[in-house]
Amino acid sequence: MTSLPETTERALGLVIDLDTCVGCHACVVNCKEWNTGGYGAPLADMDPYGAEPEGAWLNRIHTFEVSPEDAPASIVHFPKSCLHCADAPCVTVCPTGASYKRSEDGIVLVDESMCIGCGLCAWSCPYGAREMDPVENVMKKCTLCVDRIYNDNIPEEDRVPACVRTCPSGARHFGDFSDPQSNVSQLVAERGGFDLMPEMGTAPVNKYLPPRPKAKPECATTTTPASVQAEVGGFLGWLDRALEKLGKD
């Protein structure tokens, strides 16, 4: 079994805003293209042009329909990748030490050279955030683009995870949760950011921001325009007076 670091110097992770995510899959595909040519084995696709195409992905979007009793049904798009938990069961369950959490920044990684593909970590992850590569038989997971965020070969402003850089609706934010002043900590504080399935005791680093309440069709009228038709002369009477006023302005 593998140990978790007692503390990490930083706690890097993502804030995902469910209020602005339109479910476009930009993050999903950009993640795939960055990572298939990057960290570790490629993210393989089986039967890519066949009857049952299926590949390894590090980030997927799940779409749910919500039907409240007092409002019309709505759709929530829910992007999900590794949450880089402080108490990551996928690390402690690993028999070889391949699955580990970095003490520098809290990123949970798989050292593929040590991975035997037993899949225990994926079983232990309550979020289903790990996927076995179908060709190399090693465990794949979000690396928080560890090969981007410290990479001297790319411009400083681009040293963020690929999903964050590409997100068109600004629904993904990257930062250090150990710093209360960081952008991500502030967002969580301001918007009521929450843990996914806190009852699992994994202490996820990634946080989600809730969708804002939606207006209901029959909600109270805040503004009822007064009818000018009721005024003297009806609409045309109003028009004459309004034009006269306009002429004097």
Partner 1 sequence: MGGDGHNLELSPHVSDEIRKTTCYMCACRCGINVHLRKGEDGQPKIRYIEGNRDHPINRGVLCAKGSAGIMQHYSPARLKKPLLRVGERGKGAFREIEWEEALALASEWLGEVRQRDPKKLAFFTGRDQSQSLTGWWAQQYGTPNFAAHGGFCSVNMAAGGIYTFGGAFWEFGAPDWDRTELFMIFGVAEDHDSNPIKMGLAKLKDRGVKIIGVNPVRTGYNAIADEWVGITPGTDGLFILALVHELLKAGSIDLDYLLRYTNAPWLVVQNEGAEDHGLFARNEAGEPLVFDRQQEVCVSSKGKAVKPALNGQVTLPDGRKARPAFELLAQKYLSDEYAPEAVSERTGVSPSQIRRLAGEIAQAAFEREVVIDQPWTDMKGERHEKMVGRPVSFHAMRGISAHSNGFQTCRALHLLQILLGSIDSPGGFRFKPPYPRPIDGQPKPHGGCKPGEPLAGPHLGFLRGPEELLLEDDGITPQRIDKAFSWDAPMSSHGLMHMVISNACAGDPYPVDVLFMYMANMSWNSSMNSGGVMKMLQEKDDNGDYRIPKIIYSDAYNSEMVAFADLVLPDTTYLERHDCISILDRPISEPEALADSLRWPVVDPATQGEGRDVRGFQSVLLDLGGRLGLPGMVKPDGSAIYKDYADYMVNHQRRPGVGPLAGWRGKDGEQQGRGEPNPEQINRYIENGGFFQAHVPAEAQYFKHANRAWSDWAIEMGLQDGPVENVFQLYLEPLRKFQLAAEGHGKRLPPESHRARIKATFDPLPIWYPPFEGQQLDENEFPYHAITQRPAAMYHSWGSQNAWLRQIHGANPLYVPGAICDEAGLVDGDWAFVTSHHGRIKVPVRRMEAVNEKTLWTWNAIGKRSGAWNLDDDAPEAKKGFLLNHLIHELLPPKADGLRWSNSDPITGQAAWFDLRVRIEKADPQDHPVSLPQFEPQEDGLEQPAHQLTYGREWGEGT
Contact set for partner 1, span 188-207 (CB under 8 A): none
Which of 86, 88, 100, 182 binds partner 1 (CB under 8 A)? It is 100
State the minimum distance, in angstroms, from the CB of residue 70 to partner 1. Answer: 14
State the minimum distance, in angstroms, from the CB of residue 240 to partner 1. Answer: 7
25 binds partner 1 (CB under 8 A): yes
The angle at the Cα of 32, spanning 42 to 136, to the nearest 5 degrees, equals 25
Residue 194 is given by DSSP the state B
Q: Does residue 170 come out as left (phi exceeding 0), alpha (psi in the -120 to 50 range) or beta? A: left
184 binds partner 1 (CB under 8 A): no
3-class state of residue 208 by DSSP = strand
How far apart are alpha carbons 13 and 131 in whole angstroms?
19
Which of 166, 178, 186, 200 binds partner 1 (CB under 8 A)? It is 166
The site for partner 1, by CB under 8 A, has a size of 99
Query: Is-contact 196 209, C-beta < 8 A?
Result: no
State the minimum distance, in angstroms, from the CB of residue 216 to partner 1. Answer: 8
| Amino acid (1-letter code) at residue 121 | C
Site string for partner 1, 229-248 (x = CB under 8 A): x-----xx-xxx-xx--xx-
